[in-house]
Structure 1
Amino acid sequence: MDAEIVALVDQAGPYLTAALTAYGVGVLGRAEDAAVDATANVGRRLLDSVWRRRGGPGRAELEAAVGEAAEAPADADAAAALRQQIKRALREDRELLAELVALLPAGSAVSVTASGERAIAAQRITTAITGDNATLRP
């Protein structure tokens, strides 16, 4: 069960980040916004589902973690605290796992990272040239 929870929270990460970026601290109290992209709306629905299933103290802890993560989007510790709150909720409520899995688009887990000078990252790539004085010939 823990491996499933970790996998789900990892897959949900980009959606949660997009929701916090789009909706900010008020993500838990906001209705879905048609002007916000689909990724952010999925993240908002994920957070809303967790929030609705938590009791009083659990809701307060989740709200605090959401607030900290929204106020400091570059803070890895704040993001980790939010993920821990979600993991705790999933461990305490086994039905919530199925609910959140159903909210995530199937096959949507894509993570692409580039780091360093002239680094290239893409989900699909046909041609990439890095370097000085490079020439592409057909």
Structure 2
Amino acid sequence: MGTEIVELARQAGPYLTAAVGAYGGAVLVRAEDAAADATANLGRRILQAVFRRGGAAEQAALEGAVQDAAEDPEDADAAAALRQQLKRALREDAELREELAALLPARAAGSVIITASGERSIAAHTITTAITGDGHRSGE
């Protein structure tokens, strides 16, 4: 069961990051946003499912982790703390594990998830050249 929880948390990680990036600290109470991409909306649904099933202490811990991740989206420690809250909730709730497994897209063996989140983000499995920024002129 431990590897199932780790795998679910690993799979959910990019969705959580995208949701916090799109919605900020309000992700736990925000309704689905047609303007947000599917990745952010799935992350929002995952976080809300975890929040809904927790008691007051678990909800407060999750809110704190979400707020930390929202304040500094580039902070790997904040993202890890958020995943840790997810793992804790998954360990304690078999029904939540089933709910999240159903929410997450099925992955084929060896498949890769690529997520871009944030202004001027680029997502690609293999990339040769990518230029983001203002004032770039081709051929320079």
**Alignment correspondent of 1:18:** 18
Higher RCO structure, 1 or 2 (CA under 8 Å, sep 6+): 2
Which range moved further: 100-109 or 43-52? 100-109
In 2, the alpha carbon distance for the partners of 1:81 and 1:124 equals: 29
| Structure with the greater alpha carbon radius of gyration | 1
In 2, the alpha carbon distance for the partners of 1:101 and 1:85 equals: 17
In 2, the alpha carbon distance for the partners of 1:122 and 1:76 equals: 20
Tell me how far 1:124 sits from its aligned partner: 6.4
In 2, the alpha carbon distance for the partners of 1:107 and 1:88 equals: 23
In 2, the alpha carbon distance for the partners of 1:82 and 1:124 equals: 28
In 2, the alpha carbon distance for the partners of 1:81 and 1:107 equals: 24
**Alignment correspondent of 2:52:** 52
Tell me how far 1:122 sits from its aligned partner: 4.1
In 2, the alpha carbon distance for the partners of 1:42 and 1:28 equals: 12
Tell me how far 1:111 sits from its aligned partner: 3.8
* Residue type at the aligned position of 2:15: Y
1:91 aligned onto 2:91 = yes
In 2, the alpha carbon distance for the partners of 1:60 and 1:122 equals: 36
**Alignment correspondent of 1:105:** 105
In 1, the alpha carbon distance for the partners of 2:15 and 2:29 equals: 17
Secondary structure in 1 matching 2:27: helix
Instruction: Tell me the matched-pair count.
Output: 120
* Residue type at the aligned position of 2:60: A
Question: Runs of 5+ in structure 2 lacking a partner?
Answer: 115-122, 130-140
Off by >6 Å, runs of 4+ in structure 1: none
In 2, the alpha carbon distance for the partners of 1:90 and 1:39 equals: 20
In 1, the alpha carbon distance for the partners of 2:27 and 2:85 equals: 16
Any residues of structure 2 matched to 1:1-138 within 5 Å, and which?
1-107=1-107, 110-111=112-113, 122-123=124-125
